[in-house]
Copies of this chain bind each other. A is one copy, B any other.
Amino acid sequence: MMNFEAITIKDIATALSLSVSTVSKALSDSHEISEKTKKIVTEYAEKHNYRPNPIAKSLKQGNSKSIGIVVSTIDNQFFSQVINGIESVAYSKGYNVIITQTHESFELEALNIKHLTYRSVDGILISLSTETSDVEHLKSLHKKGLPIVFFDRITDEIDTHKVIADNFNGAFEGTQHLLNSGYKRIAHITSSPNISITRERLNGYAKALEQAGIEFNEDYVKYCMHGGRDIDEVKNAMNDLLAMDKRPDAIFTTSDRITTTTLLLLQKMKIRIPDEMALLGFSNTQLADALNPPLSTIYQPGFEIGKNAIEMLISIIESKNPITEFETRALPTQLFIRDSSSPVKKRSS
């Protein structure tokens, strides 16, 4: 049932009364085989549409030509763009990808990684789940020689290639934009403090405040432990903020889900954007322009992140000698200013 054209090297060998080894070498264009024989073999192979069985090849060569991807969920503009970038490269280099989802669960993440190694992938591309603070499960695999490249949500504890958006700068510029637009009390609804992007973005946010001479107020920062997976996380954050004495006049959000959920909640509460509350957030949605109001966003180059990550991973996999110099690439974000962060109008505050 396997391959549906199912002609093997053996078939070619018997048909041409050659040995399997000769055919194999002829097909791989070995110098040990005469041009004449090579021609006969390749022509026959061509004619009968011979395809080497990738599974036999894998078994023999000890690689699977497949790589594992671990993301929180595929149902997310950012991650699907990343995967798009990964596939664009992987496919052309003869790798296929196995996608797994953590749904922001540490347990699922560990399980997925285990499954991927059972599947004997040649390497792993991973963006950690919000629940993950301990990376022992990855560390031990990495030590045993499994190539790993981190993207988006990375860890300091494992020394390998990493690709991220320039979260610090993205957050910095975004916050600065809000400040320049006249907002004074900027809240920050963000993801779990476990993950790197949360820290990086928080730092960018804090830096912008500092530079503007505004004191950082911990009460203005709200964490969603599952990155907004559950709507109540965002709701609670919002309610806390709205109940404050000095209610914020702008919210800066991280992650697609948190950003859009915040928008939905503000609308539902009939809080006018941006008059009562400005909104700016990380998001890769193509619908930003069509939202009410058009949403100011910080866009991450998802496709490029994926492309870089897979290229780095393949370079590790295919490198002859072990790599010792590792790189962390930070790709620039883009700030799209739309109506949800329009300059503050003169009004009694």
Which residues of the other chain, B, contact A200 by a CB distance below 8 angstroms? none
Shortest C-beta distance, A223 to chain B (Å), equals: 22
**Contact yes or no, A101 B74, CB < 8 A:** no
Q: Does A117 sit at the interface, judged by CB under 8 A? A: yes
Indicate which residue in B3, B62, B260 contacts A2 across the interface (CB closer than 8 Å). B62
State the copy count for this chain.
Answer: 2
A28 at the interface (CB under 8 A from B): no
- Within 8 Å of chain B (Cβ to Cβ): is A98? yes
Complex Cα–Cα for A292 and B101 (A): 32
Q: Is the CB of A118 within 8 A of B75?
A: no
Contact indicator B287/A118 (Cβ below 8 Å): no
**Contacts of A145 on B, CB cut-off 8 Å?**
1, 4
CA distance in complex: A11, B64 (Å) = 22
Q: A80-B74, A87-B101, A292-B292 are in contact. Are A55 and B1 (CB under 8 A)?
A: no
Bound Cα distance A110, B110 (Å): 36
- Report A114-172 residues with CB < 8 Å from chain B CB: 115, 117-120, 122, 141, 144-146
Q: How far is it, in angstroms, between the C-alpha of A74 and the C-alpha of B81 when the chains are bound?
A: 8
Asked if A58 is at the interface of the complex by the 8 Å CB criterion, the answer is: yes
Most chain B CB neighbours (cut-off 10 Å) among A84, A122, A287, A290: A290
Please give, as numbers and ranges, the residues of chain B lying within 8 Å of A87 by CB-CB distance: 74, 99-101
Q: Quick one: given A74-B80, A264-B289, A289-B267, are A4 and B117 in contact (CB under 8 Å)?
A: yes
Using a CB–CB cutoff of 8 Å, the interface residues on chain A facing chain B are 1-5, 51, 53-56, 58-59, 62-64, 73-77, 80-81, 83-84, 87, 91, 96-101, 115, 117-120, 122, 141, 144-146, 260, 263-264, 267, 285-287, 289-294
Contacts A5-B117, A290-B291 aside, 9 further interface pairs with beta carbons under 8 A come to A2-B120, A51-B118, A53-B59, A74-B74, A260-B286, A263-B290, A287-B291, A291-B291, A291-B292
